Amino acid sequence: MTDWSLDRYCAEILTQTDLLCSLAGDGELTARVPTCPGWNFGQLLRHVGGTHRWADTVVRDRATEPVPDTLVNEVFHYDDKDPAALRDWLAEGARRLTDGLVAAGPDARVWTVVPDRPITFWARRMLHETVVHRADAAWTVGVPYALDAAVARDGFEEWLGFGQVPEAYETEDGQEPLLGPGRGLRFEPSDGPGANGPSTGWFVDLTGDAPTWTRDGGGAAAVTVRGPLSDLLLLVYGRPVRDRLHVSGDTGLLDLWLERTGFWIE
């Protein structure tokens, strides 16, 4: 569920990429990325640019089957020494991606990681890929990270959608069940305008045969998480923001939900 248009996603991809590019001049490309162990700053930027190009290939080729993700993961053979050149390369990839998405139009159908999604899936996914890695870049160069509340809200709701994919809640032998009586999570933003005011949050219901989520509403929550929208988003991506959030209730359920809904980035 998204309230955003394809054009809005594309505009925001360019904005977030520009912000990421601006950080490339603030740190050494060989600096280690504390939130992405094993990567340096240049490799982080290569990953983002490679991901943009991978999605662009899917869109421009109108791929109906998975496309090899070599550009996404093979970042170690580059020897980047010129931050300006790397910034230009990153910006070019974002522009190619957004141009390709706009040219395809919202009615085009291509292969998506989660089956049977509109092409807007790729615009949304690439936006939030860029958003989260911009936070990694900010940690690397030691500058504050700020994110527009509307972008953070959409990123959090994208994650909630991933939590409804069967891989996130179906139980294999030896796994602790995610679903069960009394299992509900509430996430309460402490900032930012929502559909019905600043307090608009989310309730995740795990009591049925499959997870569901609603904006506000819902039943009793076994665990409640409250904090800034950007930190709620970074929490689900495993970034070190837990000490900036207020968590009350069944923290074990929260940890299990975070682990299971993150199946797709392992």
SS3 content of the chain, % helix, strand, coil (to 5): 50, 10, 40
- Give the 3-state secondary structure of residue 40: strand
Length of the chain: 266
Tell me how far apart the 2 most distant CA atoms of the chain are, in Å.
56
Helix (DSSP H) and strand (DSSP E) numbers for the chain: 9, 5
pLDDT of res. 71: 81
| Residues 10-42: tens digit of each pLDDT | 999 999 999 999 998 766 899 999 999 889 999
The residue among 203, 172, 210, 168 whose CA lies nearest residue 189 is 203
Going by pLDDT thresholds of 50, 70 and 90, the confidence category of residue 266 is: low
Rounded to the nearest 5 degrees, what angle is found at the Cα of 118, between the Cα atoms of 112 and 120? Answer: 95
pLDDT at 46: 93
Tokens of 53: 């190009």
What's the rounded Cα separation, in Å, for the pair 253 and 184?
9
What region does 73 belong to: left with phi over 0, alpha with psi -120 to 50, or beta? alpha
Taking the C-alpha atoms of residue 110 and residue 125, their distance in angstroms, rounded to an integer, is 14
- Which H or E element spans position 163? none
**What digits encode the pLDDT tens for the residues 63-114?**
999 999 888 888 877 777 889 999 999 999 999 999 999 999 999 999 999 8
How many other β-carbons are positioned within 10 Å of the β-carbon of residue 224? 18
Average pLDDT rounded to a whole number, residues 52-72: 94
Distance, in Å, from the CA atom of 259 to the CA atom of 266, rounded to the nearest integer, reads: 10
Give the pLDDT score at 196.
Answer: 47
CA dist., res. 127 & res. 125, Å (int): 5
- Write phi, then psi, for 73 (nearest 5 degrees): -110, -25
On whether the CB atoms of residues 222 and 185 are closer than 8 A, the answer is: yes
